[in-house]
């Protein structure tokens, strides 16, 4: 792809909506597994997260860096959080009403359960994004759902959705967020930004959450994307732009240290 296209806001937004609208969605299958697991000993939580893009001459991903007071401190992630099984179903009709557009029409063409789950987790992602960084849901244009991601570290499944953020520059992070991390979309076409993340972590952490020792990652300045966030972003880039992880990524080795409080936070 010619990355000069990334400067064409409307063309890129239309491409994102069209590609995500045609891509398979596993929201209903994952929710069925979660519901079935509640009847046994395979309890797994569900969370809606937002992959936010903004545009000021070029497209930028707006992610959050988790504070030292929460689990997985220092990690870069998408804003969002746990599904509220009482509040989110009540808010869902309001979200469907305010978020009009082609992506919502594409979602509406899917079968009924899929549409309900997409809009339910969109509601969860927007509610949590408001709580975490005061992202105004009225300034978000829904772009489409992305493949789910199972997290071994927290027995959680995340349901990601992409959104375009219009003219939002006054984020106010709460105590869970250290700062907003902005990454130009064009940076993902630069092979030298990819690497192989080697984890340095206590043995009990590795065993408890069944981590591997190495993961592909993306580096931008001093920030690293790895794990679930890296997977969500790469799924988005592959579905929309046919961009894949470069074969040369493992030539750059980057070490990441995980401390004993990685699963709980609270480090000062």
Sequential pLDDT tens for the chain (268 residues): 778 889 999 999 999 999 999 999 999 999 998 888 776 556 778 999 999 999 988 999 999 999 988 988 899 999 999 999 999 999 999 988 888 789 988 998 999 999 999 999 999 999 999 999 999 999 999 999 999 998 876 678 999 999 999 976 678 999 999 999 999 999 999 999 999 999 888 877 776 665 678 899 999 998 999 999 999 999 999 999 999 999 999 999 999 988 888 878 766 5
How far, in Å, are 26, 28, 82, 157, 159 from residue 38 at the CA level? 19, 16, 16, 14, 18
Q: How high is the pLDDT of residue 219?
A: 96
CA–CA separation, 88 and 126 (whole Å): 10
Q: How high is the pLDDT of residue 63?
A: 97
Q: How high is the pLDDT of residue 144?
A: 96
Q: What is the CATH number of the domain that holds 102?
A: 3.90.79.10
- 129 part of a folded domain: yes
Location of structure tokens 């063409």 = 109
Of 178, 159, 16, the residue nearest 80 (C-alpha): 159
- 251 part of a folded domain: no
Q: How high is the pLDDT of residue 44?
A: 79
Location of structure tokens 């969370």 = 47
- 249 part of a folded domain: no
Q: How high is the pLDDT of residue 167?
A: 78
Number of domains present in the structure of the chain: 1
CA–CA separation, 210 and 203 (whole Å): 10
Tens digit of each residue's pLDDT (9 = 90 or more) over 134-193:
999 999 999 999 999 988 766 789 999 999 999 766 789 999 999 999 999 999 999 999
- 248 part of a folded domain: no
- 220 part of a folded domain: no
Strand ranges (E), the chain: 45-55, 59-66, 76-77, 80-82, 140-145, 149-151, 156-165, 177-184, 194-200, 214-220, 223-225, 253-257
* Boundaries of domain holding 54: 3-189
- 116 part of a folded domain: yes
- 89 part of a folded domain: yes
CA–CA separation, 227 and 247 (whole Å): 18
DSSP conformation class of 121: H
- 224 part of a folded domain: no
CA–CA separation, 129 and 81 (whole Å): 8
């Amino acid at each position: 792809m010619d990355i000069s296209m990334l400067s064409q806001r409307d063309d890129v937004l239309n491409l994102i909506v069209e590609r995500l609208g045609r891509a398979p969605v596993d929201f209903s299958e994952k929710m069925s597994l979660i519901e079935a697991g509640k009847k046994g000993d395979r309890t797994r939580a569900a969370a809606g997260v937002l992959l936010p893009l903004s545009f000021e001459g070029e497209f930028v991903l707006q992610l959050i860096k988790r504070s030292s007071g929460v689990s997985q401190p220092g990690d870069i992630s998408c804003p969002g959080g746990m599904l509220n099984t009482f509040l989110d179903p009540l808010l869902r009709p309001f979200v469907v009403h305010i978020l009009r557009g082609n992506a919502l029409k594409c979602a509406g063409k899917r079968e009924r359960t899929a549409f309900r789950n997409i809009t339910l987790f969109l509601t969860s992602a927007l509610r949590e994004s408001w709580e975490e960084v005061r992202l105004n849901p009225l300034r978000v244009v829904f772009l489409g759902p992305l493949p789910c991601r199972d997290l071994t570290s927290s027995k959680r499944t995340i349901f990601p959705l992409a959104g375009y953020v219009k003219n939002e520059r006054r984020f106010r992070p709460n105590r869970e967020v250290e700062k907003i991390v902005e990454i130009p979309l064009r940076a993902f076409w630069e092979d030298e930004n990819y690497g192989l993340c080697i984890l340095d972590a206590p043995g009990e952490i590795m065993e408890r959450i069944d981590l591997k020792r190495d993961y592909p990652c993306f580096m931008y300045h001093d920030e690293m994307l790895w794990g679930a966030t890296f997977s969500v972003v790469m799924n988005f880039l592959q579905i929309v732009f046919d961009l894949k992880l470069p074969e040369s990524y493992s030539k750059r080795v980057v070490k990441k240290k995980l401390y004993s409080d990685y699963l709980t936070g609270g480090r000062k």
